Structure 1
Amino acid sequence: MEVKLKRILENNRKYIEEGNLPSYIPELSNANKNALGIYVSTVEGEEWGAGDYMYPFTIQSISKVITLLIALEDNGMEIFQKVGMEPTGDAFNSMMKLELVQPSKPFNPMINAGAIAVTSMIHGSYKEKFDRIISFFRAITNNPKLGINDRVYLSEKSTGDKNRAMAYYMRDVGILQGDVEEDLDLYFKQCSIEVTCKDIARIAAFIGNKGVLKETNERLISEEYIKIAKTFMFTCGMYNASGEFAINVGIPSKSGVGGGIMSVVPSKMGIGVIGPSLDSKGNSIAGVKVLEELSKEFNLSIF
């Protein structure tokens, strides 16, 4: 398996030069553009890695899947009174439809506005919310050292004006009801959790295992909510390239502008990919190609 993973990485390394590092979060522009790695974790516990799979990066929008699962456990389907279930066709940080479409609410939990709203619905005080989020991440990655990259967190916080504008608009229309700055701070922190391909592959394997932690055989999330999360990953997880990705790869996935992609092959495995060089949609340009070849070679598409 490792030999095949290495070959797939090398076959698609050429695409790195066609992408760029993100500049709107200044700290992310310091990443190693040429990093490329993959890690596979099966639901039975077998694992393989190739390339720069231990390269550290911030999880960014991949975190939206996890906070959605926590919020669903806390609130059930009531969260969809404030967040929709439909793809947008717009960029992940677009705020255009918040005001244009009535009733005014984010289209889904995978765009920034929807993720901020979802995080605000997690139960507890600000500290309790953050402690629950980071503890859950540590449990499902089996990595007790997981933590925040403070440089990225402060960079996001100081430049997050569009997210701040969306959050205050959502408070104005009643979607957010608590302290907006606390909701935003929590969102910036969850996006700044530092991970490796190994970590996100294990998160994906947990989702692939229907919410059961393979180390202890303990159910942490109900299977119903896991299905909802996988559906959002498939329809909205790759931003406004989700339809193209569904056709070419066919695996529920979630990307982040840190260059990571987390993919779930239901009941089989989780896959983590890193490639900080991004395409125009905000997805890892070589990472998408790696997953496309991997899916074809091992017939991983769910269709």
Structure 2
Amino acid sequence: MTGIETKQHIQQRYQEQLEQAVILASRHVKEGKVASYIPELAKSDPNHLSAAVVLMDGSVIAAGNTQTRFTLQSIAKLFSLAIALADHGCEYVFSRVGMEPTGDPFNSIMKLEAIKPHKPLNPMINAGAIVVCDMVKGNGCEERTERILSLLRKMTGNPEICVNHAVYLSEKNSANRNRALAYFMKDSGVLTGDVEDTLDFYFRHCSIEVNTQDVAWMASVLAADGAHPVTGERLIDERIAGICKTFMVTCGMYNASGEFAIQVGIPAKSGVAGGIMATVPMQMGIGVYSPGLDEKGNSLAGVKLLQELSNLWNLSIF
């Protein structure tokens, strides 16, 4: 058997197992509820489930309609964090946002008010991500948005990645809780820039539109410690990529991160549009999409799918 045949055999096995895992997980799509507090997200098809995997040689396997587009939402928080860390370094960034997981919902204001100083516990909750957005350098919202778009286009090889304007406006017009968080932090001195400009960037970067294959390519770059797995181009500093993956384990699945770490065991970040980005260091990047969410705000069928893949392929890093 030649090397090429061996590679083809592995890809075929992965393809068949991915398709079977999607079929098994699809039984759970109706158990989740599509996010409705952002009105535009409520229009999503609750029956959708798709997944894509990028291996370290650049091979792509996919199941379901992987060209269906959705917005990153909280998955984007990893990449604004990566840019802020590159702009300022760890010491400064983590002087303004913490590194600890929280057992509270992602949009909670309770601990922010209770702890002193009033800095958010981590960059993956909304308050922390807003502070991170405040730290991304750029002359206004549009320049900062273009910086993150440029990074994601390089990671995915997709020059058409852009902001979904309808979702952006829907978020902006329904963001009372996020405005409360931002103005509280401005009053406390944690947020130093213009509140509305920072929020505008936050809404825009959450509204960047992708498909599962794009997400799998993003995850593959993190799996390769910040280098593009095919070209070898350094897109994210290795140390920063490691920090991002650590936050994915400790905080990436909101206040279900501990349970996910035990049941699935790989770094992952979810978003309330129904996407999940998961990375297996030096093995693969995974993108999953199903818009029906569980009570913690994670894609219910998406989590079931990742559990199945982790068991099939022995993916847990623990």
TM-score normalized with structure 1 length: 0.98
Task: Indicate which of 215, 219, 224 corresponds to 2:234.
Answer: 219
Whole-angstrom CA distance in 2 between matches of 1:218 and 1:2? 27
Match of 1:286 in 2: 301
Match of 1:156 in 2: 171
Q: Does 1:299 align with 2:314?
A: yes
Match of 1:145 in 2: 160
**Rg larger in 1 or in 2?**
2
Task: Indicate which of 208, 214, 219 corresponds to 1:193.
Answer: 208
Whole-angstrom CA distance in 2 between matches of 1:271 and 1:150? 26
1:54-111: per-residue Cα shift (whole Å, max 9, x none)? 1110110000011111111111111000100000111011111111011111000000
Match of 1:109 in 2: 123
Cα offset, 1:216, TM superposition: 3.0
Whole-angstrom CA distance in 2 between matches of 1:221 and 1:8? 31
Partners of 1:55 and 1:196 within 8 A in 2: yes
Whole-angstrom CA distance in 2 between matches of 1:130 and 1:239? 24
Query: Which stretch has the larger CA shift, 259-268 or 214-223?
Result: 214-223
Cα offset, 1:171, TM superposition: 0.7
Match of 1:94 in 2: 108
Q: Does 1:230 align with 2:242?
A: no
Q: Does 1:72 align with 2:85?
A: yes
Structure 2's unaligned 5+ residue stretches are 1-13
Match of 1:33 in 2: 46
Whole-angstrom CA distance in 2 between matches of 1:40 and 1:221? 20
Partners of 1:262 and 1:271 within 8 A in 2: yes
Partners of 1:110 and 1:232 within 8 A in 2: yes
Partners of 2:215 and 2:277 within 8 A in 1: yes
Q: Percent identity?
A: 53
- What is the SS of the residue equivalent to 1:212? coil
Which amino acid is the alignment partner of residue 20 of structure 1? Answer: K
Which amino acid is the alignment partner of residue 198 of structure 1? Answer: Q
Whole-angstrom CA distance in 1 between matches of 2:235 and 2:64? 31
Task: Indicate which of 55, 74, 77 corresponds to 1:42.
Answer: 55
Structure 1's unaligned 5+ residue stretches are none
Partners of 2:57 and 2:230 within 8 A in 1: no
Count of residue correspondences: 303
Match of 2:134 in 1: 120
Task: Indicate which of 241, 263, 278 corresponds to 1:248.
Answer: 263
Cα offset, 1:215, TM superposition: 4.0
Match of 1:56 in 2: 69
Match of 1:24 in 2: 37
Partners of 2:52 and 2:212 within 8 A in 1: yes
Cα offset, 1:2, TM superposition: 1.7
Match of 1:9 in 2: 22
Partners of 2:56 and 2:230 within 8 A in 1: no
Cα offset, 1:214, TM superposition: 3.0
- What is the SS of the residue equivalent to 1:52? coil
TM-score normalized with structure 2 length: 0.94
Cα offset, 1:220, TM superposition: 2.0
Partners of 1:43 and 1:206 within 8 A in 2: no
Whole-angstrom CA distance in 1 between matches of 2:229 and 2:53? 15
- What is the SS of the residue equivalent to 1:218? coil
In the TM superposition, structure 1's runs of 4+ consecutive aligned residues that sit over 6 Å from their partners are none
Q: Does 1:135 align with 2:141?
A: no
